[in-house]
C-alpha cells in the first residue's frame, strides 16, 4: 500500500515538474509571436513578474504560509530579487533578437556555471566527470554559436548569455543564503522585488512596447502567464521528487522551446546548431548524473 502511494506521489511530482519545465520553455517560443507584432522583452517580463507575485501570494496564503522572515534573510531576498529582475528580462528578451531555440540554449549555460561557482566557493576542484561534462557543454555552446555567428544579433547573444550567468549567481546565492527557509516564501519576496524594479525600469525608460495585433496580445499574455504559472510548479515538485530528479526533468525546457519554435514560428536549427544543442544538454545530463552519484555515496 505504501509503495503504491509512493509511486503515485512520485508520478505526480514528476508530472508537475515536467509541466512546469515545458511551460517555461514554450513561453520563450510563444514570445516570438508577440515580438513580431511589435512587443518587446519588457512588455512580457513585467506582467510575468507581477503574475508570479500574484500566483505565489495566492498559493502561500492558501497553504497557510507566513510571510515574515528575519531581517538578514529579507536583505538577501532583496539582493537576490534584484538579480531576478534582470533574469526575468534577459531570459525572455533574448528571443526578441535571435531565434528562440538559440536564446533558450544560451540561457541553459547556467547549470555548468553553477557547478563552477560552487567549486570555487567551496575551494574544491570539481570531479573529473563534472569537468568533462562542463567542457562538453561549453564546447557545445561554441559549436552552436560558431554556425552562422555573423547572422545572430549581438543584443540577443548578450542578453541570453548574461541571463544565464545571472541565473547561476542568483541560484548560488539563494542556495547558500536562504537554505532552511521556505522557498515559496523567499521566492515571493524576491519576485516582488523583481516586479518593482521592472516597473521602475518601465517608467524611467519608457521602454514598454505593446503588440499591435490580437495575435500579438494573446502571445504576450500567454508567454507571461505560462512563465509565471510554471515557476511555482517547479518549486512544488522539488520536495516531492527531490532536487536531482527535478533538475533532470528541467532539461526538457530547451527541448520544449525548440519544438514549439519549429511548430509555431517555423524556426529551424542548422545541423551544426543541432549538434551543439545536443552537446549542451548532454553535458548537463552527465553533470547531474555525477551529482546524483555523489549524493548516493
User: What 3 state SS string does 2-59 have?
Assistant: HHHHHHHHHHHHHHHHHHHHHHHHHHHHHHHHHHHCCCCHHHHHHHHHHHHHHHHHHH
pLDDT score of 265 more than 60:
yes
pLDDT (0 to 100) of residue 115? 78
Let me know if 214 is exposed, middle or buried by CB neighbors in 10 A (0-12, 13-18, 19+): exposed
Tracing cell 551544426 back to the chain, one arrives at 272
Query: What pLDDT digit, counting tens, does each position of 76-87 carry?
Result: 999 999 999 998
Tracing cell 569537468 back to the chain, one arrives at 131
Phi-psi region of 252 (alpha: psi -120 to 50; beta: other; left: phi over 0): alpha
Cα–Cα distance for residue pair 87/195, rounded to 1 Å: 11
Read off the pLDDT of each residue in 7-13 and give the average, rounded to a whole number: 72
The structural domain count of the chain equals 1
pLDDT score of 101 more than 90:
no
Q: Compute the C-alpha angle 231/175/158, nearest 5°.
A: 65
pLDDT (0 to 100) of residue 127? 77
Which band of pLDDT confidence, cut at 50, 70 and 90, is reported for residue 7?
low
Residues, the chain: 297
Range of the domain at 49: 2-296
Q: Which of 3-17, 35-49, 165-179, 195-209 has the lowest mean pLDDT?
A: 3-17
93 by DSSP, 3-state: which? helix
For the chain, percent helix, then strand, then coil, each to nearest 5?
A: 85, 0, 15
Question: Mean pLDDT in the chain?
Answer: 83
pLDDT (0 to 100) of residue 243? 57
Residues 6+ apart with CB under 8 A from 65: 182, 184, 185
Q: Compute the C-alpha angle 145/149/151, nearest 5°.
A: 135
Question: What does each C-alpha distance from 25 to 136, 175, 217, 224 come to in angstroms?
Answer: 22, 23, 19, 12
Amino acid at each position: 500500500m505504501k509503495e503504491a502511494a509512493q509511486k503515485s506521489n512520485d508520478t505526480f511530482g514528476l508530472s508537475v515538474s515536467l509541466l512546469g519545465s515545458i511551460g517555461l520553455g514554450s513561453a520563450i517560443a510563444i514570445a516570438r509571436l508577440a515580438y513580431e507584432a511589435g512587443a518587446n522583452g519588457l512588455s512580457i517580463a513585467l506582467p510575468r513578474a507581477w503574475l508570479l507575485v500574484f500566483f505565489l501570494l495566492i498559493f502561500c496564503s492558501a497553504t497557510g504560509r507566513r510571510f515574515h522572515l528575519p531581517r538578514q534573510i529579507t536583505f538577501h531576498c532583496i539582493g537576490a530579487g534584484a538579480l531576478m529582475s534582470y533574469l526575468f528580462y534577459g531570459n525572455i528578451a533574448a528571443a526578441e533578437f535571435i531565434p528562440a531555440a538559440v536564446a533558450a540554449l544560451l540561457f541553459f549555460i547556467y547549470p555548468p556555471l553553477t557547478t563552477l561557482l560552487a567549486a570555487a566557493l567551496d575551494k574544491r576542484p570539481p570531479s573529473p566527470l563534472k569537468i568533462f561534462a562542463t567542457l562538453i557543454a561549453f564546447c557545445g555552446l561554441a559549436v552552436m554559436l560558431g554556425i552562422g555567428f555573423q547572422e545572430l544579433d549581438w543584443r540577443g547573444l548578450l542578453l541570453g548569455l548574461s541571463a544565464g550567468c545571472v541565473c547561476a549567481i542568483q541560484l548560488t546565492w539563494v542556495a547558500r543564503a536562504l537554505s532552511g527557509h521556505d522557498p515559496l516564501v523567499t521566492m515571493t519576496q524576491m519576485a516582488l522585488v523583481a516586479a518593482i524594479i521592472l516597473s521602475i525600469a518601465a517608467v524611467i525608460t519608457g521602454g514598454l512596447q505593446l503588440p499591435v495585433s490580437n495575435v500579438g496580445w494573446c502571445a504576450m499574455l500567454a508567454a507571461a502567464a505560462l512563465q509565471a504559472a510554471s515557476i511555482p510548479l517547479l518549486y512544488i515538485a522539488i520536495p516531492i521528487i527531490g532536487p536531482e530528479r527535478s533538475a533532470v526533468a528541467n532539461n526538457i525546457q530547451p527541448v520544449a522551446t525548440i519544438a514549439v519554435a519549429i511548430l509555431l514560428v517555423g524556426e529551424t536549427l542548422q545541423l551544426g546548431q543541432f549538434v551543439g544543442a545536443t552537446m549542451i544538454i548532454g553535458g548537463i545530463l552527465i553533470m547531474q548524473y555525477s551529482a546524483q552519484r555523489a549524493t548516493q555515496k
